[in-house]
Amino acid sequence: MFSRARSMRPAPLAAAAAAVVAVCGLTGCSVDASKVKPVSKTFAYAGKSLNVTAHEVATKIVAADRKDIKVTRWFDAAAGTEHLTWVLRGDTLDIDAGCSGIALCDAKFEVEVPKGVAVSKDGDRILSGKG
């Protein structure tokens, strides 16, 4: 799902791609984040607005009856170097899940925020904070 270009010679790149194809051919490298067991993390939060940086990963934002922020992540990978992030700094929640190199992975998040918190995701207003 997320592949970041790296400076590689064609021969090593072709060899790495061939290895992934060979392994996937033998094991059936199918990735689907919705089929894996989710992992959750909560963050104490008393702010009135939240900025979510989701790095283009599918992310659902939900207003819920809670006092903290709950982040649930579904992630599945068959190839590539994984990078998983979820950290709250001030009023910014930075979440990311993907892989790089010759990559085969899938990810999605759900973020539950307290009702009344205004939320922006990747610069776009998602929740107004009213109600």
- How confident is the model over 55-76, as pLDDT tens digits? 999 999 999 999 999 999 999 9
Is this structure's pTM higher than 0.85?
no
Give Dmax (Cα) for the chain. Answer: 58
Q: Give the pLDDT score at 31.
A: 85
Q: For residue 69, which phi and psi values (nearest 5 degrees)? A: -105, 130
Q: Average the pLDDT over each of 8-17, 49-58, 86-95, 100-109 and give the range with the smallest value.
A: 8-17
Is residue 120 a part of any domain in this protein? yes
Is residue 104 a part of any domain in this protein? yes
> What span, in angstroms and rounded, lies between the C-alpha atoms of 21 and 78?
11
Q: Give me the sign of the Cα torsion angle 115, 118, 123, 126.
A: positive
Beta carbons of 41 and 94 less than 8 angstroms apart: no
Q: Give the pLDDT score at 101.
A: 86
* Residues facing 43 on adjacent strands: 69
98/111: higher pLDDT: 111
Is residue 34 a part of any domain in this protein? yes
Is residue 5 a part of any domain in this protein? no
* Residues facing 110 on adjacent strands: 60, 72
Residue 46 identity: A
Residue 37's region, left for phi above 0, alpha for psi from -120 to 50, else beta, is: beta
Is residue 2 a part of any domain in this protein? no
Which uninterrupted H or E stretch holds 15? helix 10-27
Flag whether pLDDT at 39 surpasses 60.
Answer: yes
Q: Give the pLDDT score at 114.
A: 97
- By CB atoms closer than 10 A (0-12, 13-18, 19+), residue 88 is buried
Is residue 131 a part of any domain in this protein? no
Question: What are the structure tokens assigned to 68, written together?
Answer: 């903290």
Is residue 26 a part of any domain in this protein? yes
Mean pLDDT of 2-17: 46
Q: Would you call 26 helix, strand, or coil by DSSP?
A: helix
Mean pLDDT of 72-83: 92
Q: Give the pLDDT score at 1.
A: 47
- Could you give the percent of the chain with pLDDT greater than 70? 77
Residue 30: other Cβ atoms inside 10 A: 11
* Owning domain of residue 41: 10-125
